[in-house]
Each structure stands twice: as C-alpha cells, then as structure tokens.
C-alpha cells in the first residue's frame, strides 16, 4: 500500500507538477491552458537585384515576411504569435544593403491591428528613436549600407542581455544578494530570481518585484532597473531597508516570449498576467511556488508586490481594497512622497477590483499584500524613467521604514 501511495505521488508530479501553492479564484475566469503559437521562419530575406537584405535571425526578432514593391520600397509583414491578442504589434529586424542607398519600408499587420510602437534604430552601438519625418503612415524611410541596422518597436533586451545586466549589478554584492535558477520555461530557458537580504531571514517581511510578463514592455523594465539599482546602492537608507525587508525580484518573467519576439504571450501562447489563479504556465507556477516556499521556510509574510509594465502613458493600477492589507496606508503615503520629490510629477492612479487573475489581485487575495501594477508610457523619455524609478524606490524605502 505504501509503495502504491509513493507511486501515485510520483505520477502526480510527473503529470501535473503538483502545484504546492493554493489557487486563488477571481470573478472572471480566464483559460490559461496552452495555446498553439506560430513560430517564425528564421531566414534572410534577400533582394539581390535591389541590393537590400532583411533578417530575423537573432533573439527577439519579429519579421514574418517581406515583399518588394520596387527597388527601394518594401512591405514588411508582422504577425502575432497567435490570436486573440491585444493590439500591441511588435517587430524587430536587421536590414542592410550592398551599397549605400535610401529605402522605405511599410509595416503591414493583420486586419484589425494597428501600429503601436515608434521604430527604434540600433546603429553604431546606440539606440535612437525615429521622428515623424522619417516615420509616417506606417512607412519608415531608412538609409542602408553594408553595416546592418536593427529596427525594433522598442530597444531589445533579450534574456542574455537581461541576465548579463543582473550579474553586473550584483558583482560586488554577493555577500547579501544572489541570482539563481528556480525552474525552466516551456522552451527550457532558465527561469531566474534575485534574492536580496541582509541579516536574519527569519520572519522578515518580503517585497516582490516582477517585470516583463509582456515581452515588448521594456519601459517598465527600465523603471525596474532603476528601482532595483537604487535599492542596491551602498548607503544608510538601503542598508536599513535590507536589514528590515527581504527582496525577491524577477527581472524577466517571460524569457521565451522575449527571445521569440512575441507581441504579448509566452511560448504556451498565453498572457502570463492572466494566469495568477490556476498557474497553468511554468513561469507563473515557478514564481508562486518559490514565493510560497520562501515564506513558509522563514515564517515570513509578503507585504508588497510591484509589477512593472508599459502602456501608452504612465499610470499606477491599484486595488481598491487596502484596509485588510498589512500596510493599509502605504499607497497614499508613497504616492504623496512621489509628488513631493519628483519635479513636475503628478501620480496617475487608477484603482479597481481585480476581477481577472492578474498579479496585483494575486498579491492581495493570496497574501493580503499591497499589489500595484507600475506602468510606464511607451514613449516616456528614458532619463525621465530612470528618475521616476530612482525616486520611487527611495520613497518606498522611506515610507516602509517609518
């Protein structure tokens, strides 16, 4: 009988992974079981007579087909990984020519989808956003040469780039911060967490930071970078904060989707920010199980969860319910501090009940923690993002230490 019981346990793990974290139920059910996705045909699109070439052979690329109109005009076909999907068409491709010449490329999306991201061009080691003179009516004017350029909806930050950045900022902090693999994605990429703590972990309150559930949303990731880097600065404020709180930071929630150049979903064809109920996708399952295991092991409590995203403008999405959380006054105090410390800044807050299984609702309903979706505008200036990220981290630490 004991042998049968052990075999059943093993079979459970083998077939369904035996999620150890309790499911959290929401009013609006979302099906997050695997959906088929369309994988791009990785190739070089060659137009020898025109002397122009396009490629999607790199991590983060999104280019499905190219058609020539004439020697200097081309149509680029950009398709999503699957449907239905929200209107956030992402693209990224390399382009070069046999000799210097001017060309124009027109972005073509499936019916019902319109352009979202202004083209960014990577050339000579730098990213530069195009202007309305070079890009108009979905047509981009480009100068090409033998040196290839990358044209992308947002600056590319593949898994290798993200993990390289994490290792660089932790290099001299290994005595209190670690970067470790806690699982694999559907396509066997490492799924990683940053664990930051000074002193005793026992019963220490935990703050969770996550970003890049949606692959193209790099402005939220830039704010995450500035936010986390500020917490890691060697000063009295950061030291006191990390002695009182433990940070679990997930710098890349969707490695597969990012490296595949997906518009929004993971390799399972699912919006990860709708899977915070049944945990059908490995990325969310890895996250919630690691958080739950950490809290249980150290008899700790999750008090705050911040999920960094991008949208058309800067906004904080919050939960209406606050009294039952462990920090019922945190949001008001934090936002007030932001307005007092960031020049010409007005907090744009939208509060609601999380009816769908999104992260901010999970933080609240699973842990009675404050949950906030921290959104940065697609075109918010990068220096402004760094300032907002830095000041919001400083304000958070000060409020939570009072």
pLDDT of 11 > 70? The answer is no
At residue 137, the pLDDT reads: 94
At residue 21, the pLDDT reads: 85
pLDDT tens-digit series, residues 315-348: 999 999 999 999 999 999 999 999 999 999 999 9
DSSP string covering 222-250: HHHHHHHHHHTSSSHHHHHHHHH-EEEEE
- Which helix H or strand E contains 6, and what residues bound it? helix 2-16
- Which helix H or strand E contains 61, and what residues bound it? none
Q: Which two tokens stand for residue 29?
A: 């059910």
At residue 380, the pLDDT reads: 97
Range 195-206 average pLDDT: 97
Q: By the 8 A CB rule, do 190 and 177 touch?
A: no
In angstroms, the CA 318 to CA 361 distance is 9
Whether CATH 2.60.40.3120 fits 44-152: yes
Half-sphere exposure in the Cβ direction for 310 (13 Å, CA): 27
pLDDT of 3 > 70? The answer is no
At residue 363, the pLDDT reads: 98
Angle between helices 236-244 and 218-231 (to 10 degrees): 100
Quick one: 159-401 is in which CATH superfamily? Zn peptidases (3.40.630.10)
Range 158-178 average pLDDT: 97
At residue 6, the pLDDT reads: 38
pLDDT tens-digit series, residues 31-44: 999 999 999 999 99
Torsion angles phi and psi, residue 387, rounded to 5? -65, -45
pLDDT of 211 > 90? The answer is yes
Range 268-297 average pLDDT: 98
In angstroms, the CA 126 to CA 115 distance is 23
pLDDT tens-digit series, residues 94-147: 999 999 999 999 999 999 999 999 999 999 999 999 999 999 999 999 999 999
pLDDT of 15 > 90? The answer is no
Domain boundaries, the chain: 44-152, 159-401
At residue 12, the pLDDT reads: 42
Q: What sign does the CA torsion over 179, 182, 185, 187 have?
A: positive
């Amino acid at each position: 009988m004991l042998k049968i019981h052990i075999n059943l346990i093993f079979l459970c793990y083998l077939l369904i992974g035996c999620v150890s974290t309790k499911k959290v139920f929401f009013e609006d059910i979302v099906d997050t079981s695997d959906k088929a996705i369309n994988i791009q045909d990785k190739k070089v699109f060659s137009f020898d007579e025109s002397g122009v070439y396009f490629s999607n052979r790199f991590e983060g690329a999104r280019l499905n087909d190219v058609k020539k109109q004439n020697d200097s005009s081309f149509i680029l076909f950009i398709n999503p990984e699957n449907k239905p999907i929200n209107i956030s068409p992402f693209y990224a491709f390399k382009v070069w020519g046999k000799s210097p010449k001017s060309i124009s490329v027109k972005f073509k999306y499936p019916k019902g989808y319109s352009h979202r991201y202004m083209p960014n061009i990577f050339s000579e080691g730098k990213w530069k956003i195009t202007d309305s003179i070079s890009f108009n009516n979905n047509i981009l004017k480009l100068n090409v040469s033998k040196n290839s350029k990358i044209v992308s909806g947002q600056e590319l930050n593949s898994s290798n780039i993200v993990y390289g950045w994490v290792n660089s900022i932790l290099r001299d902090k290994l005595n209190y911060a670690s970067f470790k693999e806690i699982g694999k994605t559907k396509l066997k990429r490492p799924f990683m967490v940053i664990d930051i703590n000074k002193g005793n972990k026992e019963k220490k309150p935990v703050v969770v930071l996550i970003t890049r559930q949606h692959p193209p949303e790099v402005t939220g990731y830039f704010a995450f970078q500035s936010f986390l880097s500020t917490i890691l600065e060697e000063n009295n404020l950061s030291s006191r904060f990390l002695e009182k709180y433990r940070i679990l930071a997930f710098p890349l929630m969707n490695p597969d989707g990012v490296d595949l150049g997906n518009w929004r979903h993971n390799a399972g064809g699912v919006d990860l920010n709708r899977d915070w109920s049944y945990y059908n996708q490995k990325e969310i399952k890895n996250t919630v199980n690691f958080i739950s295991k950490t809290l249980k092991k150290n008899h700790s409590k999750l008090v705050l969860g911040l999920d960094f995203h991008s949208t058309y403008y800067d906004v904080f999405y919050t939960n209406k319910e606050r009294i039952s959380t462990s920090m019922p006054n945190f949001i008001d105090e934090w936002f007030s501090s932001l307005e007092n410390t960031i020049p010409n800044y007005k907090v744009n807050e939208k509060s609601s009940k999380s009816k769908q299984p999104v992260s901010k609702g999970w933080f609240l309903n699973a842990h009675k923690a404050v949950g906030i979706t921290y959104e940065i505008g697609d075109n918010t200036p990068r220096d402004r993002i760094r300032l907002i990220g830095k000041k919001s981290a400083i304000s958070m630490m000060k409020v939570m230490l009072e």
